[in-house]
Amino acid sequence: MELASTSASLGTYIVFPKPQLSFTSRTLYPSLFSVRNSFSKSLYLASKSQVRLHEFFHAAAVGNTSRVPYDSVEEHMTTAKHSGLKASNGITTSKEEETDKKDAAKSLDDQKMTRVCDKLIEVFMVDKPTPTDWRRLLAFSREWDSIRPHFYQRCQDRADTENDPGMKHKLLRLARKLKEVDEDVQRHEELLKVIRKSPSEISEIVAKRRKDFTQEFFVHLHAVAESYYDNPTEQNAVAKLGNMCLAAVQTYDTATESIEALNAAELKFQDIINSPSVDAACRKIDSLAEKNQLDSALVLMITKAWSAAKESTMTKDEVKDVLYHLYMTARGNLQRLVPKEIRILKYLLTIEDPEERMSALKDAFTPGEELEGKDVDCLYTTPEQLHTWIRTVVDAYHFSREGTLIREARDLMSPKIIQKLDELKKLVQDKFL
């Protein structure tokens, strides 16, 4: 069966539930970025309070004056207008009128922002008083950037005029603690922007910035995905990034925790680097892959070497070219270590026409010589083996056992793909078993 080795990856359609965390040897991860059949009502209910706050942020940011009583607005604008007028023989210049209007508008904006900040102080102190709540609320808000400086200043102003020592302490403590959380969230947002910009380089990003992929970062990513409750496309995209980050971090940790694996990988890496030519080095990588000795630790070393050289101004272009070829060769071989049944499945799922899919299944079950070329692979399996893999993935989805699958099979765990797999399983059962 021929299939393109560079076929487009299958998109995942993922919805984050409430964060579920499990311990690993070095850090905390969300146990899995779960998939569900649709955007469930429970996701909306879990997010309802954050949605309300998001709407409140939005109303304040876009200037919804319904938040300010009409009579106070009218009175304020009238007072501002008359207090700013300059009479000269009973005549006011147009320039003065324009200035008065700007002053009145600014004063009204300040008054409204004060009301917004007072409401948020109440929310942060009473309704949502824990740092965990604050992280989620800030992740949900798309207006916080414009409110931030006014909020901290309002906390300080109220503390300065507060007569009650206890309340004064609470206001100052809120500003201090929230600022710490806010700075964390900003760091997470900066990292998320880097990942969004270069999702194909996630392994390189993790290798350079592993310490930034903390438990709090994954919880933030979870909250960001939930915040797109009204935009399934964007929610799926963020969830897919979360899966990629989690897989890359786990791979990185697994590789770096094994001292023996690192030592062995270093010896292999030095042997590759000392090759007389680029072709010879690539052949060594191919040979390691054929012997199933191209482990993640070695690929990680090659990736880090290429990443460091690429951004260095001290490295010669010839060295960069060599490391790039090694990186691409290792990456391609690592992809070929994925079980052939998974690769066949992914190819079959790209075929929409029923007759063409049936023909591809017959090719897949026809024994022959297996060839793995640069652009096209010829792979074969048995109906029993393919059916077993399909059943494993489908059962893992229905019984929420995603963690039992190998990483390469987890991107099959989405509702649309599961539906196609069910159809494929029935087809294999009816026609080939």
Residue 191 has pLDDT above 90, yes or no: yes
Residue 429 has pLDDT above 90, yes or no: no
Query: Reduced to 3 states, what is the DSSP secondary structure of residue 310?
Result: helix
pLDDT at 113: 87
Query: What average pLDDT does the segment 151-169 reach?
Result: 90
Q: Are 18 and 46 in contact (CB under 8 A)?
A: yes
List Cβ neighbours of 218 (8 Å cut-off, separation of 6 or more): 19, 29, 30, 242, 245, 246
Task: Annotate 207-262 with DSSP letters as a single string.
Answer: HHHGGG--HHHHHHHHHHHHHTTT-HHHHHHHHHHHHHHHHHHHHHHHHHH-HHHH
CA distances from 307 to 81, 93, 199, 320, 342 (A): 61, 64, 14, 9, 29
The rounded distance, in Å, linking the Cα atoms of 408 and 392 is 13
Chain segment 372-410, per-residue pLDDT in tens? 555 556 777 888 888 888 888 777 766 644 444 444 555
- Alpha-helical segments (H) within 1-40: none
pLDDT at 190: 93
The mean pLDDT value of the chain amounts to: 72
Of 32-41, 53-62, 259-268, 335-344, minimum mean pLDDT range: 32-41
Task: Annotate 164-176 with DSSP letters as a single string.
Answer: -HHHHHHHHHHHH
Instruction: Name the percent of the chain lying above pLDDT 90.
Output: 5
The rounded distance, in Å, linking the Cα atoms of 267 and 63 is 63
